[in-house]
Structure 1
Amino acid sequence: MTIPQELQYTADHEWIRVEGDVAYVGVTDFAQKELGDIVYVDITTEGQEVAQNHIFGTVEAVKTVSDLFLPVSGTILEVNPELTATPELVNSDPYGKGWMVKINLSDASQLDTLMSAEEYAKTIGA
């Protein structure tokens, strides 16, 4: 199981990668394996301010639907356009082409509440 060291993680299995004042958010390798084959990603919050730990969308797998929680407060700048036609990118490349949203951080200090790769690995028993 892959847990990139440069990312930060939530207990709800989202990751965040900060690049300047914007960040990319997606679900972890652990999450996509637990969900199974992802068939649809539904994110309708583009352009909206979403608070930390609030739902920004859902992901649908063959047997389940799961809410997506934003790791930090921010404005959803962009939804990954590739996920409309190829939601399975979340399964095949969760930390790369399978990213879900790009956000503008509202409060960078909230990053301090997230887990490191090592902490996340312990949480999932990896």
Structure 2
Amino acid sequence: MTTDQTAPRVTRTDDEWRAQLSAAEYAVLRKAGTERPYTGEYTDNHRTGIYSCRACGAELFRSDQKFDSHCGWPSFFSPLAGEAIIERVDSSGGMRRVEVVCANCHSHLGHVFEGEGYATPTDLRYCINSISMSFAADE
């Protein structure tokens, strides 16, 4: 697990985040919420391009790292670069999971799961909320 105790490079007050993000984006990105499965705009996106943090614009995942896990959220087997995300233990809701946050602004993206039997190069599934990302298609 890649952990990082450093401060985010992009910092805003809670009021600034609320002004920048929609209520739904704020609930997920800043309060570690989740969108309902199969409702996100990128769950079935098969275009080629880059997924970035919706809060700060940092590049997170490339479309060739995305795969169909049929879990209801966009799934990736690896981040774009090792330093793009931070993984940290999440014991909320009576479960032990690994939370994924943007390394640039520490916004909540989703969770990563290991050893679920997916035929991916890493045996990892980064289960990411669509609302946590924006997508830029390759030209």
TM-score between both structures, scaled by the size of structure 2:
0.27
**Structure having the larger proportion of residues in helix:** 1
**Structure having the larger proportion of residues in strand:** 1
| Pair member with larger Rg | 2
